[in-house]
């Protein structure tokens, strides 16, 4: 079934346009209640990030779920992974997140977790879409759902985050800057770090509904890097608007991305006997990560871009660790989804155990130079480019020339009429030359 609304991570768009409007979200709540509710007394949790439209969509979802006869637990501002955790531990039928993650406040989205705290399977999303095509009805007055606010949601999640590292670890003397992106972690991440004993300097923790991800957070870590240097901190932690991603900054003010953090966590798990199977990355994971893990004797597998594909592979193989360069890291031995706070704590634990700084820990992985060239397609279908023999010959020639010291990725953009040409290798000038050679072959084809 071709899905009309659900993408790779729920339903997302500009507020007031397409499906991201109150009327649609009302009916989405009703449809989700009919599919995900499991009889009388069932409950579905709703949480949100700090963007202003969250109030509107929270009310719409509440009304739709109540009309379907499902009880509601309102969590208020809560990180996406916190909603997954609470859905699981409170035995909810499902969890709903109102968030557009790292996007600006003009966007919003709705995504779902199952009763086990996992993303919904495609088949369940398709069932919700089928319900959306039906006329909306309301259960009898005596069967309507009731809503309650869960006042201790924040405290429950804080305690869970702390439980993911040994309580014996003492972080007194560690000076940390945390950037909350004016998002859903603003009232949680600083307290987690303070409660484990760190000295905490907080930035990006004054949400006003309009400033989420604006100049702060995991997608814009320069403010964090500057604060680390100015305050002489040991490191910095940048989370995104809904708290499922993390990027860190070492004591020198240098950015440490998701690939490097994944390498550090994998090495820690390997040393402590907690790494089960291979590490899972994506097509965009740096070749340096694959090489560094190979040097540790750890396998590495790539999947399509997107955390749901990482989770699928981890679940299929019963492996424990995967992630993306963007900082979406999944420690499946700790939780069911990407969690920025939990991932950062795993790195802090390794710093504490080894006595090595973040700058020292990252040195085991050398990031390979990467060149990305975007080639406009005009009216040509991307499939025609991907199937063209001349373009594929150009790709094969580069792959043959670079051997095991390089990697080529040719893929259509998912959002624009572009072909993306990415080449990685040991030498920056060689990488740039090879990427442009392939891009020239694509340009020649498009110009015919």
Q: SS3 for the chain, per residue?
A: CCCCCCECCEEEEECCCCCCCHHHHHHHHHHHHHHHCCCCCCEEEEEECCCCCHHHHHHHHHHHHHHCCCEEEEEEECCHHHHHHHHHHCCCCEEEEECCCCCCCCEEEEEEECCCCCECCHHHHHHHHHHHCCCCCCCCHHHCCCEEECCCHHHHHHHHHHHCCCCCCCCCCCEEEEECCCCCCCCCHHHHHHHCCCEEEEECCCCCCCCCCCCCCCCCCHHHHHHHHHHCCCEEEEECCCCCCEEEECCCCCEECHHHHHHHHHHHHHHCCCCCCCEEEECCCCHHHHHHHHHHCCCEEEECCCHHHHHHHHHHHCCCEEECCCCCEEECCCCCCCCHHHHHHHHHHHHHHHCCCHHHHHCCCCCCCEEEEEEECCCCCHHHHHHCHHHHHHHHHHHHHHHHHEEEEEEECCCCCEEEEEEEECCHHHHHHHHHHHHHHHHHHHHC
Closest CA to 119 of 342, 320, 309: 309
Alpha-carbon span 264 to 344, nearest angstrom: 11
Contact 15, 104 (CB under 8 A): no
Please identify which of the residues 101, 114, 227, 278 carries the catalytic annotation. 101
User: 168 is written with which tokens?
Assistant: 């014996």
Q: Is residue 101 annotated as part of the catalytic site, yes or no?
A: yes
Alpha-carbon span 255 to 309, nearest angstrom: 26
Catalytic residue ranges: 101
């Amino acid at each position: 079934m071709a899905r009309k609304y659900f993408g790779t991570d729920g339903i997302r768009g500009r507020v007031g346009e397409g499906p991201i409007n109150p009327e649609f979200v009302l009916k989405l709540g009703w449809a989700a209640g009919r599919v995900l509710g499991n009889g009388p007394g069932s409950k579905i949790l709703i949480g949100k990030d700090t963007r202003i439209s969250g109030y509107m969509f929270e009310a719409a979802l509440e009304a739709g779920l109540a009309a379907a006869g499902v009880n509601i637990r309102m969590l208020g501002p809560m990180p996406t992974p916190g909603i997954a955790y609470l859905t699981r531990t409170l035995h909810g039928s499902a969890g709903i997140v109102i968030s557009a993650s790292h996007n600006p406040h003009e966007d919003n989205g709705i995504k779902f977790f199952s009763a086990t705290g996992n993303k919904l399977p495609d088949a369940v999303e398709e069932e919700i879409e089928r319900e959306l095509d039906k006329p909306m009805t309301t259960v009898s007055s005596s069967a309507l759902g009731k809503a309650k606010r869960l006042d201790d949601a924040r405290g429950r999640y804080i305690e869970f985050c702390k439980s993911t590292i040994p309580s014996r670890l003492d972080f007194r003397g560690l000076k940390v800057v945390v950037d909350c992106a004016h998002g859903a972690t603003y009232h949680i991440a600083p307290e987690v770090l303070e409660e484990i004993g760190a000295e905490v300097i907080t930035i990006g923790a004054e949400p006003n509904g309009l400033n989420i991800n604006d100049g702060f957070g995991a997608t814009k870590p320069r403010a964090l890097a500057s604060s680390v240097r100015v305050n002489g901190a040991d490191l910095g932690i940048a989370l995104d608007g809904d708290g499922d991603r993390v990027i860190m900054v070492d004591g020198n003010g240098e950015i440490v991305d998701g690939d490097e953090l994944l390498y550090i966590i994998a090495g820690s798990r390997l040393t402590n006997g907690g790494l089960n199977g291979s590490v899972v990355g994506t097509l965009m994971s740096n070749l340096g990560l694959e090489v560094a893990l190979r040097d540790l004797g750890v396998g590495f597998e790539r999947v399509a871009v997107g955390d749901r594909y990482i989770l699928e592979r981890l679940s299929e193989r019963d492996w424990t660790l995967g992630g993306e360069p963007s900082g979406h890291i999944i420690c499946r031995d700790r939780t069911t989804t990407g969690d920025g706070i939990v991932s950062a704590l795993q790195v802090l634990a390794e710093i504490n155990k080894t006595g090595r700084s973040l700058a020292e820990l990252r040195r085991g992985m050398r990031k390979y130079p990467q060149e990305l060239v975007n080639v406009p397609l005009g009216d040509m279908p991307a499939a025609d480019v991907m199937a063209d023999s001349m373009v594929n010959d150009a790709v094969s020639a580069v792959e043959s020339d670079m051997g095991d010291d390089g990697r080529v990725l040719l893929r259509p953009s998912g959002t624009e009429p572009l072909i993306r040409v990415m080449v990685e290798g040991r030498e920056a000038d060689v990488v740039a030359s090879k990427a442009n050679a392939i891009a020239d072959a694509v340009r020649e084809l498009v110009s015919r």
